Structure 1
Amino acid sequence: MADSGLSAQILYLASCLIWCSFSDLLERRIPNRAVLIILFGWIAIRVWEIAINNAPLSIIYKDFPGAGIVFLVGFLLFLTGRLGAGDVKLMAVLCLWVGYGQQITFIMVTALVGGVLAIALPLLNIIPTIITTGINSINKRFKIKLALPPALSPELSQGIPYGIAISAGAAYILILPYIS
């Protein structure tokens, strides 16, 4: 694939991962819209590879088993309250993106970053307050009305924004090799 096509893919995916990370950090939810946009991006890339580059149709089928297993295990974790539904959907869709050869590495990096997030949770809970204070300062100084992020309720502030770890795992596999 041409460098401009790869750059567009990286920009597309990076912007979606940033969206998911900030949404999970500030609202403790990953929008279904974001997951669908990531899924449609994967579908578009695979269709392009098959139609334009004459790639075999099997490139699609190889990614499904790992993504399916991740979705099934994630669903069971969701039922027990250990993982959010958005986290499960995001991780399964990103397993499609990373491909069958990198899915285990993606899961391992995601788990490691998730562990770091669990340890750093008290610091993470300060970030929405800092952002709100910054927006209030901008509103006051420039006399405008930027929207404030919703305040986290006490029960949400205890949850780990695992979308950040999932995004970091995907970025490690899909973005880092091309920018370093």
Structure 2
Amino acid sequence: MSVLTTLPIGIFCVAMIFAGLRDLTTMTIPNWLTLVLALVFFAAAAMTSMSLNEIGLHTAVGFATLLVGMGLFAKGWIGGGDAKLMAVVALWIGWTQVLPYFVIASIFGGALTLAILAYRNLPLPAFIGRHDWAMRLHDRTEGVPYGLALAAAALLIFPDTEIFRLTVAVG
């Protein structure tokens, strides 16, 4: 397996880890990250000789997810970064894995929300108070860094995707 052919897998995985940790610590997911992931998907699709029909299906599910995410963002239910991250993950995983992805992300998101609610009911030790991100998570007026759940679900489902199988087969 060559480094060049497996590079997209590494980029996707590192980007998911970065997105999750970034959302946890800053409550933001950078636009450049989702843009890079979208571009890398199309490069990976070309490298693996993914059919134009399959690329179109991946693009359609990514776009549909973006529209749903924008609606959820407009309602104030998720952040804008979460909507874009969901969409780019949907682009990568395709229509065959998008439903399992949403189920897993929902389960992880529910567990994350419960954990943060429990954390917010605990008194904070002094050493935690020195970290802005830990204080932000403890603040009951702040949201939940749902990007962490979205990224974790993406990493869990990714090995079951067509792009992963094609990339490994080419390598």
Measured against the shorter chain, the TM-score band is 0.7 to 0.9
Task: Provide the TM-score with structure 1 as the length reference.
Answer: 0.73
Partner of 1:168: 152
Q: Which has the higher contact order (CA 8 A, sep 6+)?
A: 2
Alignment partner of 1:158: what SS?
coil
For the 8 Å contact 2:116–2:137, the answer to whether it is kept is: no
Which of these two proteins has the greater Rg computed from alpha carbons? 1
For the 8 Å contact 2:97–2:160, the answer to whether it is kept is: no
Aligned to 1:91, which of 68, 86, 103? 86
Residue 76 of structure 2 corresponds to residue 76 of structure 1: no
For the 8 Å contact 1:14–1:175, the answer to whether it is kept is: no
Q: Could you report, residue by residue, the CA deviation over 1:89-114 in whole angstroms, capped at 9, with x for unpaired residues?
A: 01001101111111111111111100
Partner of 1:18: 17
Count of paired positions: 158
Task: Report the CA distance shift for 1:84/1:3 in structure 2 as closer, same or farther (over 3 A).
Answer: same
Identity, in percent, stands at 26
Residue 68 of structure 2 corresponds to residue 60 of structure 1: no
Q: Could you report, residue by residue, the CA deviation over 1:140-162 in whole angstroms, capped at 9, with x for unpaired residues?
A: xxxxxxxx766638768631111
After TM superposition, give the deviation of residue 5 of structure 1 in Å.
5.1
Segments of 5+ residues of structure 1 without an aligned counterpart are 137-147
For the 8 Å contact 2:137–2:144, the answer to whether it is kept is: no
Segments of 5+ residues of structure 2 without an aligned counterpart are 165-171
For the 8 Å contact 2:58–2:94, the answer to whether it is kept is: yes
Task: Provide the TM-score with structure 2 as the length reference.
Answer: 0.77
